[in-house]
Amino acid sequence: METLVALCKRRGFLFQSSEIYGGLNGFWDYGPLGVELKRNIREAWWWDNVLAHNELVPPPGAPSSYQMVGLDSTIIMHPQVWKCSGHYDLFHDYMVDCRETKKRYRYDQVQGRWVSYKERRVFVATEAVGDEALADTEHKALKFFGLRPKEAHELIWESPLVSLTTVEDLSLVLAPDAKSLGTLTPPREFNLMFKTYVGALSGEEGAAYLRPETAQGIFVNFKNVLDSTRVKIPFGIAQIGKSFRNEITPRYFTFRSREFEQMEIEFFCRPETSRAWYEYWR
């Protein structure tokens, strides 16, 4: 991943946001080549799905012909939209904080292995995955118990890689970046929507949220589209736009960032044909 990031920066595809001030984790700026690549993808997607679509002829594999229209809804919508959709109450992850390093982790993304040495049992946690996770937990266990690599055979591994969520006693956990045991706080809920305020005052009466997905803008405009156009079921509404998610630990370059662009279609059909349309669109 580091090689890919370096290439994108060197060739002008992507830069860390606010890099001259130290950067802002989870946010990326598209450079001269990146913005053109992004524009080409966006225009090709819109052409294929909206502009070039022939609503009189059923595409190969489709149950019937259908219509497709576009929409561009706002990033900030009425707070009631998110309450009714369930995002306000349910769109959250659990997080844990490390008291030693002051780092924050998403509870269900940390994994580790149980290991014993001279009757002392520890859960060694890591954020790495796959073979890297196995190597990382072994390295941390050796360091924690004060052993040399050639003494690795003295460690007794009691489990494969398992989620931190399976651990009942956090006092036995060696956090991913900690040197001491039991530094993780109990898990707590963390809402993934960015909060902002609309109007001159920053009170709760003016509270609003940056949209975490583009779909809700389509749903709340369903009747407006129906009343203002000649579309009939089955039809789709396409939208391209920015979404925002306050990820606890953004990672994997642009694949899990806090600001991103979505290209989305919400397709509406009759219940009895839903399975056939699902098979077509998937």
C-alpha–C-alpha distance, residues 135 and 132, integer Å: 5
Task: Tell me the domain boundaries of the chain.
Answer: 2-91+192-281, 93-190
User: pLDDT tens, 227-271?
Assistant: 999 899 999 999 999 999 988 777 777 777 899 999 999 999 999
pTM of the model: 0.75
User: pLDDT tens, 120-136?
Assistant: 999 999 998 888 999 99
Share of the chain above pLDDT 90, in %: 72
Q: How confident is the model at residue 203 (pLDDT cuts 50, 70, 90)?
A: confident
- Say if residue 174's pLDDT is above 90: yes
Measured between alpha carbons, how far is residue 105 from residues 138, 177, 188 in Å? 20, 11, 11
- Say if residue 152's pLDDT is above 80: yes
Top-tier CATH class for 2-91+192-281: alpha beta
User: pLDDT tens, 65-98?
Assistant: 999 999 999 999 999 999 999 998 888 889 999 9
Residue type present at position 45: W
CA angle 79, 82, 86 (to 5 degrees): 145
Q: Supply the pLDDT for residue 205.
A: 82
Q: How many CB atoms lie within 10 A of CB 116?
A: 15
* Dmax (CA) of the chain: 75
**Comparing C-alpha atoms, which of 186, 187, 195 is closest to residue 87?**
195
